[in-house]
Structure 1
Amino acid sequence: MVRTAAILSALACLLLVAACGVPKQKIAVSTDPLGATVYADGKKTCGATPCSVSLDRQSDHLLTIVKEGYKQEEIMIRRRFKPDRAIRDGVISGIIKGADPKDVASEAAREVDEQERSGEAYVLDPSIVTIKLTPAGAGI
């Protein structure tokens, strides 16, 4: 019995450590024509479209799409606050911790604050980028 409890405690600790990383979101990128290179915040993240890039949800990002013979495109990926998700998670956390019903609201507020700091309370938008590239030298 003690051994089972120790194993379960170790697994719970591993899950907590794994959950502490910066939350990321995959953004699908597709171009017409295919085969463009994608840079996120100036760093090459994808050698040939279609692909997806993994971005942290703690900040906005600039995607730059480059293909020889075509005009460079830039797309701003913005983080958007999702209060409904953060509050829901806070209320669930308060209930799971066995908080007194009158303390659930303060637990929810604490959880929302924590999710804002970690980036979990945000989603990146747009979550899918589809772009038709313009040939270089073509008029606007």
Structure 2
Amino acid sequence: MARTIAAAVALFCLLAAFGCGVPKQKIPVSTNPVGATVYADGEKACGSTPCAVRLDRRADHLLTIVKEGYEQEEVVVRREFKPDRAIRDGLISGILKGGDPKGVASETAREVDEQERSGEAYVLTPSIVTIKLTPKGSGI
């Protein structure tokens, strides 16, 4: 009984820490000068820099930064696979289920696979975007 309660508490803590649904990452965006509009994958993401955009970790993204009188800038935000996070979570899950070493290994593999499919095993880079805008016609 105590083992079941401990497992339930640990699961609750993991869910509270990682949340549910599509994993998103907040990317702060700042420009010099301020006041640019940021588009993520062609859709307006924030109206005036500095701001932050929330992006799905399951895919790469293109940020387009626009300000009247300045050259448009584009930043590619790429996802990077972080297997250490998925392996750690799989080991915790396998150990909490009280499995033998084979069961723990199986649970770890299942968890890595699940987190890769859901996007939880990825982080987006760059994690902060800072752009110095170039005035139109400056030839720089």
Query: Counterparts in 2 of 1:1-140, with a 5 A limit?
Result: 19-140=19-140
Gapped regions of structure 2 (runs ≥ 5) = 1-7
Q: Deviation of residue 65 (structure 1)? A: 0.2
In structure 2, C-alpha distance between the alignment counterparts of 1:70 and 1:30, rounded to whole Å: 15
* Cα distance in 1, alignment partners of residues 99 and 26 from structure 2: 35
SS in 2 for 1:53: strand
What is the CA–CA distance in structure 2 between the aligned matches of 1:97 and 1:19, rounded to whole Å?
21
> How much has 1:102 moved relative to structure 2?
2.7
Residues in 2 aligned to 1:20 and 1:37: alpha-carbon distance in whole angstroms: 29
C-alpha distance in 2 between matches for 1:24 and 1:49: 20
Please state whether the residue corresponding to 1:135 is helix, strand or coil: coil
Instruction: Name the TM-score, length of structure 2 as normaliser.
Output: 0.86
Residue in 1 that maps onto 2:5 = none
3-state SS of paired residue (1:68): coil
| Whole-angstrom distance in 1 between the partners of 2:128 and 2:72 | 18
Instruction: Quote the RMSD (CA, aligned, Å).
Output: 1.9
After the TM superposition, list the runs of 4 or more consecutive aligned residues in structure 1 that deviate by more than 2 angstroms. none
Moved more, 71-80 or 89-98: 89-98
Counterpart amino acid of residue 90 in structure 2: G
- Return 5+ residue gaps in structure 1 as ranges: 1-7
